[in-house]
Amino acid sequence: MSQASSVRITVPATTANIGPGFDCLGAALSLYNHFTFTRLAPDEESLIIRATGAESDRVQTDARNLAYQAFTKVYDHLGQPVPSLLLEIDLNVPLARGLGSSATAIVGGLVGANALADFPLNRQTVMELAIALEGHPDNVVPALLGGCQLSATTATATWEICDIPWHSAIAPVVAIPNFELSTAAARQVLPGQYSRADAIFNTAHLGLLVRGLATGHEAWLRTALSDRIHQPYRQTLIPGYETVQTEAIAAGAYGVVISGAGPTILALTAPDQAPAVQAAMIRAWATQGIQASAQVLQIDQQGAIVQYP
């Protein structure tokens, strides 16, 4: 089979942690970035990057571009020269908002390179490269595979991935404020050690969350979204968090959590309550003088998709 000259990769946004699942649980959402990789002739420029869509003016258009860095990792891994490339990026996932924009770039670059090279790497290898680039699995694994995914290390330091069923009676609603929060800043506020009580609390709540997501059991979900590892510390970096939380729950949400490192807030609710929760979260932030958008999304079950333009 001859190698393709151009491939288009669609990668979903993700929401990571989902309360007690810090650094190990994430879900793919029905919001997408698109990456088109086209080989250039050797006598053309070695790299051309064009970006369109939301905040595209902020995308790096040289070799520092994250999708391109991921692209080159595949060829480095294969011991092959990196081809001259036109990379076209169409952005719909907001940057630095806790919706996995960096994970879409990493997965898009890896999957795009693997497709252009005629798929020499299996999905497990691509996934492991993605985790190594991102530093943790909670965003890149669902971005690659779709669905809700729980990641755990094995005794030999490889990854065991468990698909977590997500009941159709649970609608994810994301409220995205007009300010950013870097992952680095969100990690700096976390303590270096935790008490035994907090570890037990999170273990119990993550187990309950897995069952709540699978069954849609309302009472379990209302309890399960609590966390003591990251949210109490990160909430202080998100103005209006408690107000948004209170109003979303009053409008019918089972609970709210910080999406990824934030500042986007994720609410889980029944589908028929989702529009009311969506409106309540926007209003709540407005009372704090913060403009926000909100979307009722679905869980993406496909993950990264390869198409040939």
Kindly report, residue by residue over 139-153, the tens digit of the pLDDT. 999 999 999 999 999
Location of each CATH 3.30.70.890 domain in the chain: 171-296
Q: 85-91 and 47-53 as β-strands: parallel, antiparallel, unpaired? A: parallel
Class of residue 268 by CB neighbours under 10 A (exposed 0-12, middle 13-18, buried 19+): buried
Q: List pLDDT tens digits, range 67-87.
A: 999 999 999 999 999 999 999
Q: List pLDDT tens digits, range 18-54.
A: 999 999 999 999 999 999 999 998 777 799 999 999 8
Confidence (pTM): 0.94
Give the pLDDT confidence score for residue 1 in this predicted structure: 43
CB distance 143 to 151 below 8 Å: no
Give the pLDDT confidence score for residue 2 in this predicted structure: 55
Q: List pLDDT tens digits, range 264-296.
A: 999 999 999 999 999 999 999 999 999 999 999
| Torsion of Cα atoms, 222 then 224 then 228 then 233, to 10° | -50
Integer CA distances (angstroms), 152 to 20, 24, 212, in order: 14, 7, 20
Tell me the three state secondary structure of residue 195. Answer: coil
For the chain, give me the number of helices (H) and strands (E)?
10, 11
The domain defined by 171-296 folds into Alpha-Beta Plaits (3.30.70)
**b/e per residue, 147-175, with b = 16+ CB within 10 A?**
bbbbbeeeeeeeeeeeebebeeebbbbbb
CB distance 251 to 276 below 8 Å: yes
CB distance 255 to 267 below 8 Å: yes
Location of each CATH 3.30.230.10 domain in the chain: 6-164+299-307
- Is-cis flag, bond preceding 263, omega within 30? yes
Tell me the three state secondary structure of residue 210. Answer: helix
CB distance 247 to 175 below 8 Å: no
The domain defined by 6-164+299-307 folds into Ribosomal Protein S5; domain 2 (3.30.230)
Q: How far apart are CA 68 and CA 86, in angstroms?
A: 10
User: For the chain, how many residues are written?
Assistant: 309
